[in-house]
Structure 1
Amino acid sequence: MSAPRQSLTNSLRRLFDPLLARSAAALSRLGIAPNTLTVLGFLICLGAGGLAALGYLFWAGLIFLMGSALDALDGPLARHSGRSSLFGAFLDSTLDRYGEAALLVGLATHFATAGQPLLVFLTSLALLGSLMVSYTRARAEGLGIDNAVGLLTRLERVGLLTLTLLIGWTTLGLLALALLTQVTVAQRVLRVHQETSSS
């Protein structure tokens, strides 16, 4: 089986690994459990979704970034504290999907209330794409295929969505998110096809 091409996520993780490791060590000394951090990050992302629904898009982006930053620490904290678990990994992945969906649903709610059907459509397409990006990876891994490839893994999606809300380029950002998530799904489907065809 061929190795998957490295995504931007892998490069960024290597860049931020030292900072994450130091932060995880500090949290471990405070006795904070990894699953607590996971749930806290999720609740913050829920708050971002609520702010988005009310039309506070800049603050929604900022709060979503904070929640996502906390979420990035639960894995390093689990490894540093020796508290890694299968359930923790499962909970993290599950709440990641809910947190991302909460923000997008909040945005769609705001755009529907504001009478902006194009943005409702783009947000809905972005939500579908984000969920399918995650599903195609999980389903492939169930078949024994490493499928963390493509343009828009979770880290890139979080970055693009946050930037979209912070700078106010809503239509352009959501269009990019809607299209590039579908491209990523296609890349992952193609990889599974290549791997299964060569086996």
Structure 2
Amino acid sequence: MREQGARPQRVSQLDRVKQEYTAAAREILRRSMAGVAKTKLTPDMLSIAGLALCVAGAVLVGFEERNEYLFYWLGGAFFIAGSIADILDGALARAASKGTVFGAFLDSTFDRLGEAAMLTAIGLAFMRDGNEIALVAAFAAVIGSFLVSYTRAKAEALGLKGDVGFGSRLERVVIVSVGLGLAPWGWLQWPIYVLAAMAWVTVVQRMLYVRSQLRELAEQAS
């Protein structure tokens, strides 16, 4: 999402490092999609494909009780492929100048749906195991992940910045993927605990960051 009217603010060294590697990764992806940009493939097609793959991965994880190795790992592979498609749609939009306001809206919405579908399937697995604490953590991860995106979008709608913290989409995808890889050995709950905690810490960081920006603006106006 583009930032409109955002003013430069003080950020932590860790956030600055994150912003730098994110910008570098986006530039690399944009260049890598230069050839694809000449085809008829559109960012919306990639967004739809990404959502379909993530949902398919969630459905596969839902069958984990039949064969944990097969369905956790296959579901994880689909989720990773879908998440990569979600990343590439933005890169294609920048490389081909095919981006639209509705396309950006669709991409953001589909990102949330794909992630929620996978966390729901993971919560189902915890419920079957009778692991109530992990089930609550999965719910907390879903809510926290939604709020991470919402706080940034709301901040930018107010003309502020809200991109601090390490609970963004990329980090969440990595943690969920690691959890699915470890799931057959009964370690899935630990990455979900980390994911839930990281998401909520990021939400609080962004709330405090927005408040600090508003205070600075008030001081400048006085």
Common fold: TM-score over 0.5: yes
Out of 202, 206, 209, the position equivalent to 1:184 is 202
Cα deviation per residue 1:25-46 (whole Å; 9 max; x = unaligned)? 2322331011011111011011
Give me the whole-angstrom Cα distance separating, in 2, the residues matched to 1:48 and 1:172. 20
- Is the CA contact 2:141–2:199 (under 8 Å) kept in the aligned structure 1? yes
| Alignment partner, residue 42 of structure 2 | 33
| Alignment partner, residue 152 of structure 2 | 137
Asked if residue 14 in structure 1 is aligned to residue 32 in structure 2, the reply is no
TM-score with structure 1 setting the length = 0.91
Structure 1 SS opposite 2:210:
helix
Report 1:28-177 matches (<5 A): 28-55=37-64, 56-168=71-183, 169-177=187-195
Runs (5+) with no aligned partner, structure 2: 1-6, 65-70, 218-222
Letter in 1 for 2:126: F
Q: Percent identity?
A: 34
- Judged with a 3 Å threshold, the aligned counterparts in structure 2 of structure 1 residues 9 and 94 are, in CA distance, closer, same or farther, namely farther
User: C-alpha displacement at 1:87, in angstroms?
Assistant: 0.8
- Judged with a 3 Å threshold, the aligned counterparts in structure 2 of structure 1 residues 60 and 86 are, in CA distance, closer, same or farther, namely same
- Judged with a 3 Å threshold, the aligned counterparts in structure 2 of structure 1 residues 134 and 71 are, in CA distance, closer, same or farther, namely same
Number of positions where the alignment pairs a residue of Structure 1 with one of Structure 2: 198
Letter in 2 for 1:160: I
- Is the CA contact 2:58–2:117 (under 8 Å) kept in the aligned structure 1? yes
- Is the CA contact 1:137–1:148 (under 8 Å) kept in the aligned structure 2? yes
Give me the whole-angstrom Cα distance separating, in 2, the residues matched to 1:113 and 1:39. 30
- Is the CA contact 1:53–1:108 (under 8 Å) kept in the aligned structure 2? no
Letter in 1 for 2:74: W
Letter in 1 for 2:48: V
- Is the CA contact 2:43–2:92 (under 8 Å) kept in the aligned structure 1? yes
- Is the CA contact 1:7–1:151 (under 8 Å) kept in the aligned structure 2? no
Which structure is larger by alpha-carbon Rg, 1 or 2?
A: 2
Give me the whole-angstrom Cα distance separating, in 2, the residues matched to 1:77 and 1:185. 29
| Alignment partner, residue 2 of structure 1 | 8
| Alignment partner, residue 194 of structure 1 | 212
User: C-alpha displacement at 1:151, in angstroms?
Assistant: 1.8
Give me the whole-angstrom Cα distance separating, in 2, the residues matched to 1:16 and 1:138. 19
Structure 2 SS opposite 1:144:
coil
